[in-house]
């Protein structure tokens, strides 16, 4: 049984991708059509809570199973928390991050001792709100380093000219496919794959066959089995939308909108954020719902094992490897910092082996440093996605809001 359900919760709600509070208003309740045009059960689209920013001296250790970045505001990030500016001074380095940031206190203390600086972690709500705050205060930055912007928002951060370039010598240990900015204005720190998770007890011999492809989810036998997050209010929800755009495209006989129309007709359940989808609607692991398929992360199964007491030999949940979307999380030195040398040392610190090896069990994502050793629970239970779906950041920047609006008109209407 779970050791403590709260230990699986995000710092406030999730990330890349799934922590902090969900943002945005309450979208209208959809009434999807069942096959043949008759009304089906309405998917749940719950109100989103506004996050509140905070400045803390040490990170919160709680995290969702496998999110990159904060949950709320994954798509729009409209909520902007109020955060008091840092005290400043030559002896302080301020790191602005999302609410789900977590590293061991002893590692942070070691950095302070080695760098001769007092480190202050400034939590700015969810990832979208954090980025908004950094953009709004770029003329008088609140921090020296920003950690937690992911590839779905990277173009927005770069267009705002938030960062000064820095190529860490440790980048040679980072796979090239994670380095998305050739000017090195941001440094990849970790990554996670948004995938469909399934409840093992619901599938198998004598039960429902396990779907193997995204297309399977539109078949009649999976009617009413899937729960997803709204891409307008959720980081994994946005990532799954991008996965369908990457898979099915915008032109041709069958597009991503056709796919979502079919999911809607097949009684897909929509929630505003990851926590409600995973804990309230999903039936597997820590979930208390009745739907055996949920949009979550490839690293959610090891979290289920890690937080269980006693720990099972097999995770109660599994991962479908088809249709996974990769989220990469970055850190960058904010333009206008008065502590650029110390900020560079912090970037190096984030890519160092001790930090990279702590990241999996602190934030349930994969480290960017290929030399980092993974904990045994990750080796045994985390799915490795060999060919994740991706979309270029320029294309995301040009189409993100339109895609969200079209998704809303297709699914939530």
d(CA 161, CA 410): 35
**Is the pLDDT confidence value at 348 over 50?**
yes
Give the closest residue to 347 by CA, choosing from 58, 158, 154, 146. Answer: 146
Residue in the structure block whose two tokens are 């506004």: 50
First CA to last CA distance, the chain: 39
pLDDT digits (tens, 9 = 90+) for 153-170: 899 999 999 999 999 999
Rounded to two decimals, the pTM is 0.80
Element at 111 (helix H, strand E): helix 105-115
The per-residue pLDDT of the chain, averaged, comes to: 83
Q: String of b and e for 174-211 (b: at least 16 CB within 10 Å)?
A: beeebbbbeebbbbbbbbbbbbbbbbbebbeeeeeeeb
**Is the pLDDT confidence value at 50 over 80?**
no
Question: Secondary structure of the chain: what % helix, strand, coil (to 5)?
Answer: 35, 20, 45
d(CA 47, CA 24): 8
Give the closest residue to 269 by CA, choosing from 287, 248, 250. Answer: 287
pLDDT digits (tens, 9 = 90+) for 66-120: 555 545 444 444 444 444 444 345 689 999 999 889 999 999 999 999 999 999 9
Q: Look at strands 187-199 and 145-150 and give their pairing.
A: unpaired
Class of 5-10+193-326+391-411 per CATH? alpha beta
Mean pLDDT across 123-143? 90
* Percentage of the chain modeled with pLDDT above 70: 78
Give the closest residue to 329 by CA, choosing from 34, 102, 85. Answer: 102
pLDDT digits (tens, 9 = 90+) for 184-232: 999 999 999 999 999 999 998 889 999 999 999 999 999 999 999 999 8
CA 143, 148, 153, 158 torsion-angle sign = positive
> Do 290 and 267 contact (CB within 8 A), yes or no?
no
pLDDT digits (tens, 9 = 90+) for 224-235: 999 999 998 888
**Is the pLDDT confidence value at 342 over 70?**
yes
CA 3, 9, 15, 17 torsion-angle sign = positive
d(CA 375, CA 327): 21
d(CA 191, CA 239): 13
Q: Say whether domain 54-192+327-381 belongs to CATH 3.40.190.10.
A: yes
Specify the higher pLDDT residue, 80 or 129. Answer: 129
Which residues of the chain does CATH 3.40.190.10 include?
5-10+193-326+391-411, 54-192+327-381
Mean pLDDT across 145-159? 93
Mean pLDDT across 382-405? 94
d(CA 21, CA 115): 33
pLDDT of the residue at 153 = 86
> Do 147 and 350 contact (CB within 8 A), yes or no?
yes
Neighbour count for residue 295 (Cβ, 10 Å): 28
d(CA 279, CA 283): 8
3-class secondary structure, 297: strand
């Amino acid at each position: 049984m779970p050791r403590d359900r709260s230990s699986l919760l995000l710092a406030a709600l999730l990330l890349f991708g799934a922590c902090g509070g969900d943002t945005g208003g309450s979208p209208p309740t959809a009434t999807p059509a069942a096959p043949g045009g008759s009304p089906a059960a309405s998917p749940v689209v719950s109100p989103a809570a506004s996050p509140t920013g905070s400045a803390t001296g040490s990170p919160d250790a709680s995290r969702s199973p496998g999110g990159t970045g904060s949950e709320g505001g994954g798509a729009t990030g409209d909520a902007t928390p109020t955060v008091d500016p840092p005290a400043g001074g030559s002896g302080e380095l301020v790191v602005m991050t999302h609410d789900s940031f977590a590293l061991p206190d002893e590692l942070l203390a070691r950095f302070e001792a080695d760098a001769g600086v007092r480190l202050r972690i400034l939590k700015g709500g969810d990832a979208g709100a954090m980025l908004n705050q950094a953009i709004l205060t770029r003329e008088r930055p609140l921090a020296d380093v920003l950690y937690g912007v992911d590839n779905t928002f990277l173009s927005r951060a770069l267009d705002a000219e938030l960062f000064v370039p820095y190529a860490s010598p440790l980048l040679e240990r980072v796979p090239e496919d994670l380095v998305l900015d050739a000017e090195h204005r941001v440094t990849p720190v970790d990554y996670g794959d948004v995938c469909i998770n399934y409840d093992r007890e619901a599938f198998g011999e004598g039960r429902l066959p396990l779907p193997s492809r995204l297309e399977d989810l539109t078949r009649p036998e999976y009617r009413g089995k899937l729960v997803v997050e709204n891409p307008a209010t959720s980081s994994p929800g946005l990532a799954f939308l991008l996965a369908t755009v990457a898979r099915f495209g915008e032109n041709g006989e069958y597009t991503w909108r056709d796919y979502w129309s079919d999911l809607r007709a097949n009684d897909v359940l929509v929630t505003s954020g990851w926590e409600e989808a995973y804990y309230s609607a999903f039936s597997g692991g820590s979930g208390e719902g009745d739907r055996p398929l949920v949009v979550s992360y490839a690293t959610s199964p090891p979290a289920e094992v890690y937080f269980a007491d006693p720990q099972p030999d097999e995770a109660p949940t599994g991962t479908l490897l088809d249709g996974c979307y990769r989220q990469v999380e970055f850190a960058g030195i904010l333009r206008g910092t008065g502590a650029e040398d110390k900020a560079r040392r912090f970037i190096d610190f984030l890519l160092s082996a001790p930090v990279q090896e702590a990241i999996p069990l602190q934030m349930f994502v994969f480290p960017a440093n290929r030399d980092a050793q993974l904990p045994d629970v990750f080796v045994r239970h985390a799915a490795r996605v060999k060919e994740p779906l991706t979309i270029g950041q320029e294309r995301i920047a040009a189409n993100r809001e339109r895609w969200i609006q079209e998704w809303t008109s297709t699914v939530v209407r």
